[in-house]
Amino acid sequence: MEENIKKKIILGVVGITVLLIVLITATYAWFSARSEDESQQITTAKVDLVVEVNPDATHITNIKPTTWDAEDMANNNDNKDIVQIPIKVTNNSTIDVKYYLRLLAEGLELNNDETLTGGNLSEIKYILYELDDVNKEIARGDFTEPEKEQIIIRKKAIKKDEIQNYKLYLYIEETEEIQNRLQGLNFNIIINGDIKTNYEIEELEYIESTGTQYIDTKYYPNGNSSYSFKYSDNRISGVMFGAYNTSWNDGSGLYIKGSGTNPFLHYYSNVSISAGYHSEGIIDINRGTFVLDGTEYLSLPYKNFSVDFPLYIFAGNWGGQELEQPTEYRLYYFKIYDNDVLVRDFVPSYNTVTMIDADGNECPKGTIGLYDRVEEKFYTNKGAESFLKGPEI
């Protein structure tokens, strides 16, 4: 029914300027007001993408393990234990665009009844089919990390006034093992869309430092700073990120060992975290609380402090004078919150054209760095050599 349709509207305005050329004494002159011949023409393009999903279909409860039929889609469509979520994407823009669709499972977790055994979130599968022209599979995956957004459509072209239809199938894959902890699931599927309007930047899965590169975030940490990031392939001891006034005890950052010993959290102190060594993981630091892959290892009391120098990523900023212990790892994303407000949303990227970076400097095409979705600025390497580039996404 019409009232059951939830519309997620992504709006933006992209200014497209048509510059007229006037021939004056055998030269071309660019102008911005009027000439005697004709006026400048300015066209503003409206960007309006609508993603429609039935909310009744996205609330998932009481599904049971079943088997996906790879030979006959009719059997899957008739299977009551396979959730089916229609998705309609409409481009109401005045121009053709490209878009992403992102998926996450809100509130999905294993049954916490200690008497139950067996079953993993990786056994909850999804498959996305495109329904236009010929039905075809375009994405599949699982919910090992349910709260993490997964990109299920990347840079898909859609013409103005065009409609594209999809169906997302979701099910618990039946195994030969006990799956009791998958009983009583109750969660919501969230599907978000966004338009790719910045064609100067291509996102990457990760960028990799080799010990000589670092990013100046231009953010000054304080007692209300929080961080969330994903990393892998950590190989040496060093500062993953940080800024300090004069010592470990008056700054904000994280020191991680490249061996079997504990990392140290810097929250106006230098405190060992009994987490052991992890070469990869997702770290969430909320003020003085340290969480690795969903497990809390440390919680320090709130402290009111400020750092006089900007935070570096891949190294520490020691009093604005010294680069402190750069390290080597792959970075997949890095978010900075100030008093719970997102102020930096860094994604690994490279530029496809010559452009101006966050420092106001011209950087050539192919420069690798971090693009901030909040300020819409490109942050480039302040150290030596270049970051290594991961695959495009």
Q: Residue by residue, what is the 3-state secondary structure of the chain?
A: CHHHCEEEEEEEEEEEEECCEEEECCEEEECCCECCCCECEEEEEEEEEEEEECHHHHEEECCCEECCCCCCHHHHHHCCCCEEEEEEEEECCCCCEEEEEEEEEECCCCCCCCCCCCCCHHHEEEEEEECCCCCEEEEEEECCCCCCCEEEEEEEEECCCCEEEEEEEEEEECCCCCCHHHCCCEEEEEEEEEEECCCCEEEECCEECCCCCCEECCCCCECCEEEEEEEECCCCCEEEEEEECCCHHHEEEEEECCCCCCCEEEECCCEECCCCCCCCEEEEEECCEEEECCEEEEECCCCCCECCCCCEECCEEECCCEEECCCCCEEEEEEEEECCEEEEEEEEEEECCCEECCCCCEECCCCEEEEECCCCEEEECCCCCCCEECCEC
* pLDDT at residue 9 in the model: 38
**Rounded average pLDDT over 342-367:** 93
Task: Say whether pLDDT at 4 is over 80.
Answer: no
Q: Provide the percentage of residues in the chain whose pLDDT is more than 70.
A: 86
pLDDT in tens, 85-103: 999 999 998 888 888 899 9
Q: What tens digit of pLDDT does each residue of 300-338 get?
A: 999 898 999 999 999 999 888 878 888 899 999 999 999
Domains 52-197 and 207-389 share a fold: yes
pLDDT at 40: 42
Write down how long the chain is: 393
Q: How do the domains of the chain map onto residue ranges?
A: 2-47, 52-197, 207-389
Identify the CA nearest to 149 among candidates 102, 115, 188, 99.
Answer: 102
Band the pLDDT of 357: cuts 50, 70, 90.
very high
Q: What is the pTM of this model?
A: 0.60
52-197 is classed in which CATH architecture? Answer: Sandwich (2.60)
Closest by Cα among 340, 365, 343 to 352: 365
Interval 247-266: pLDDT, tens: 777 777 787 755 556 788 88
- Residues 27-65 have pLDDT tens digits of 223 222 333 334 344 445 677 889 999 888 889 988 899
CATH topology of domain 207-389: Jelly Rolls (2.60.120)
Average pLDDT, the chain: 83
- 181-210: pLDDT as tens digits: 999 899 999 998 887 666 688 899 999 999
pLDDT at 6: 41
At 13 the pLDDT is 35
